[in-house]
Amino acid sequence: MKISEPAEEILEKMWVFLEDEDDKLIPVNEYDKDALRELESLMLIEYEGDKVQLTSEGFEESKKIIRRHRLAEKLLHDVLGMSGEDMETAACNFEHIMEGGVEDSICTVLFHPEECPHGNPIPPCECLEEARKSAAEVKKVLEKSILPLTKLKNGQSGKIVYIKSAKRENLDTVLAMGLLPGRKVEVIRTSPSHVFQMEHTQIAVDREIAESIYIGELN
């Protein structure tokens, strides 16, 4: 979305107002009328009498601008050693030219800072959210594809990935039977005990032991 600099400055001030005040309605009599008209026509703000409210899109746009501004401050402060008004002015210029992923690169370079040099929160970056999301996805897929032996059906096969048991003696039993990670197993029977084929041997284990053997690469 292309927004003029004066309109972006207003969105930025609105965000700060919302951070400071417990009111959703923002007084706008001091703001530039043209810029307000622009924001209204882009449907980023809505009038309520003589005050305005950010629309949900307006909220998202403000968040982006504030994020750029505070990341710019952080960069100018931490990397270039600037502070005070110089930093403010530079940040205000800089924020308008940070576009299309530049702020995410800066965010990464600065190790995803949570606060600007003034101690104000930097809206969390999508880069980090994305990374967290995909890590959670990977975990979910892994969890689904690695199951304890007790969850396998007759005829299902796979490879032992790891052994996990709270009881030391169970681990010893499992290892003594040669049930090592990487070994291929195929379930033959699930009751009364768990019987499975491993290479040329059939092995029977009780439920507690079977629960401690985790299988992946399921077929």
Scanning 70-78, 101-109, 128-136, 154-162 for contacts with Zn ion by CB under 5 A, the matching segment is 70-78
Q: Is 69 in the site for Zn ion (CB under 5 A)?
A: yes
Q: What residue type is 51 in one-letter code?
A: K
Please check whether residue 53 is in contact with residue 18, taking contact to mean a CB–CB distance below 8 angstroms.
Answer: no
Of the candidate residues 90, 92, 110, 195, the single one contacting Zn ion (CB under 5 A): 92
Scanning 11-19, 135-143, 158-166, 197-205 for contacts with Zn ion by CB under 5 A, the matching segment is 11-19
**Residue of this chain nearest to Zn ion (CB atom):** 116
Of the candidate residues 73, 76, 82, 210, the single one contacting Zn ion (CB under 5 A): 73
Residue with tokens 């600037």: 82
Residue 15 or 214 with smaller CB distance to Zn ion: 15
Residue 77 or 194 with smaller CB distance to Zn ion: 77
CA distances to 168, 175, 213, 215 from 206, in Å: 16, 15, 11, 16
Q: Is 10 in the site for Zn ion (CB under 5 A)?
A: no
Q: Is 116 in the site for Zn ion (CB under 5 A)?
A: yes
Of the candidate residues 118, 132, 140, 167, the single one contacting Zn ion (CB under 5 A): 118
Per-residue tokens: 129 = 């959210």
Q: Is 203 in the site for Zn ion (CB under 5 A)?
A: no
Element (H, E) at 172: helix 168-176
Round to whole Å and give the CA distance between 170 and 175.
9
Please check whether residue 191 is in contact with residue 121, taking contact to mean a CB–CB distance below 8 angstroms.
Answer: no
Say how many C-beta atoms besides its own lie within 10 A of residue 3's C-beta: 19
Instruction: Give contact residues for Zn ion (rule: CB under 5 A).
Output: 12, 69, 73, 92, 116, 118, 120
